[in-house]
Structure 1
Amino acid sequence: MTLHGYLAFLTVAVVVALVPGPDFAVVSANTLAGGRRRGWATALGVAGACAVQGVAAAAGLGAFVLRSQPVFLTIKWAGVAYLAYLAALSLRSSWRGTYRPMVAGRAEADPARGLRQGFLSNITNPKVLVFYLAILPQFIGPGSGGLALAGLALTHAAIALLWLGLLVTLMHRASGWLARRRVRRWLDAITGTVLGGFSVALAVEKS
């Protein structure tokens, strides 16, 4: 892979990372609910899932998943159900309107929960695997092996972590405003609606 090809991929990877999607919504929701610690843990979970899917694509497992309709549909519908579940949590929180401060104690931060939710929201999204299998090979030469593909996938995971980490940091700095009850309720309602929309979009998308 040439330097020109790698720089071209970096441009595409940054654009893809910046487009708001389920990962963006989950990180935002967890930062609101548990503060910076849970937000960063969620971002790490997302990046970890990107890395796993990238390595799977490089090892040939990704192509197997796409060829096997039962496996692909299982992952797809697991993603639909999980996004719907996260949407329900946000909408319920908005409806109740009872909140603890964003910067709360260790139990409220619960980084393990954030890590798990970030990982599951990404690993059950088949679009990530499709991206790695369809787009990444365009930037490597025909003689390049799985290592080059894995390297690009890990680069994308690192970019996603940096972007989502920046989002967490900005939200944490605005925590005084975001902690207002009315603002939290609106943000939870928006986040829940967005996650529900992603769940429906994934459900109706043709396999």
Structure 2
Amino acid sequence: MAFETWLMYLLAVLAVCITPGPNILLAMTHSVQYGLKRTSITALGCITATSSMALISATGLGALLLASENAFHLLKWMGGAYLFYMGISLWLKKESAFFDATCNARPAVRLRRLYARGVMVSASNPKAIIFFGALFPLFINPDAPLAPQFAIMLTTFLVFSYGFIMGYAALTAKITPYLRTRRASKWFNRMSGSLFMGIGLALATSEK
């Protein structure tokens, strides 16, 4: 891949990654609830699912999914329902502080659970497969070996996606001291829950 082509691709990636979506929202929520260090596991789960969808697209299954309207709508509804469920869970979360201000003890959580949550949220949007199917061909040179080009584009996207997810999480961590009260944590849960429900509904009801 020519360096000039990669730079143009990088600009497109930055424009996509800087826009907050479900992955970033989840990382921001986990940053407050569990701390920045453990949120890195959540972010790893997010990019794992993202890489899987990019590989699906690169191998041509994206075109098959696009052609199968029933399969696409089924995945879209499942993803939207999962995000809506997450929103409801946050709304119903016990109105207690995220952690005890007297001892700074974070709530216990298994790292594999954070990883799984990241995978599920990222995989909840099947449009990512179609997005990669539309993005990659714009920068592919059909006369050059395809595998190295896909590898460069996928690695670039994952590195910057992870960086932006963690960047937003780090910014959110700065406000954590202000969320150590029951009242503050309650409204943070409800705001995050409302955003998840809104994204879930938008995903499930959007046109193909």
The number of equivalent residue pairs is 204
1:1-207 → structure 2 map (5 Å cutoff): 1-93=1-93, 96-101=94-99, 104=105, 108-144=108-144, 145-207=146-208
Q: Deviations over 1:83-131 (max 9, x none)?
A: 01110111112xx4123417535x6232211111111111120221121
Distance 1:38 1:85, change over 3 A: farther
Deviation at 1:42, TM superposition (A): 1.2
Q: Return the TM-score normalized by structure 1.
A: 0.89
Q: Is the 8 A contact 1:34 1:104 kept in 2?
A: no
- DSSP-derived class of the 2:97 partner: coil
Q: Return the TM-score normalized by structure 2.
A: 0.88
Q: Is the 8 A contact 2:97 2:181 kept in 1?
A: no
Q: Is the 8 A contact 1:38 1:110 kept in 2?
A: no
- DSSP-derived class of the 1:20 partner: coil
How far apart in 1 are the matches of 2:174 and 2:64? Answer: 44
- DSSP-derived class of the 2:96 partner: coil
How far apart in 2 are the matches of 1:86 and 1:175? Answer: 21
> For residue 71 of structure 1, what is the amino acid of its counterpart?
A
> Structure 1 unaligned runs (5+)?
none
> For residue 81 of structure 1, what is the amino acid of its counterpart?
A
How far apart in 2 are the matches of 1:108 and 1:14? Answer: 34
Deviation at 1:30, TM superposition (A): 2.0
Distance 1:36 1:109, change over 3 A: farther
Q: Which has the higher helix share?
A: 1
Q: Is the 8 A contact 2:97 2:179 kept in 1?
A: no
Q: Is the 8 A contact 2:43 2:162 kept in 1?
A: yes
Q: Is the 8 A contact 2:81 2:204 kept in 1?
A: no
How far apart in 2 are the matches of 1:110 and 1:179? Answer: 22
How far apart in 1 are the matches of 2:105 and 2:53? Answer: 33
Q: Is the 8 A contact 2:50 2:123 kept in 1?
A: yes
- DSSP-derived class of the 1:117 partner: helix
* Identical aligned residues as a percent: 26
Q: Kindly report the root-mean-square deviation, in angstroms, between the aligned alpha carbons of the 2 structures.
A: 2.0
Deviation at 1:181, TM superposition (A): 2.9
Q: Deviations over 1:22-45 (max 9, x none)?
A: 111111222222222432111111
> Structure 2 unaligned runs (5+)?
none
**Which is worse superposed, 24-33 or 116-125?**
24-33
How far apart in 2 are the matches of 1:32 and 1:92? Answer: 17
How far apart in 2 are the matches of 1:87 and 1:154? Answer: 31
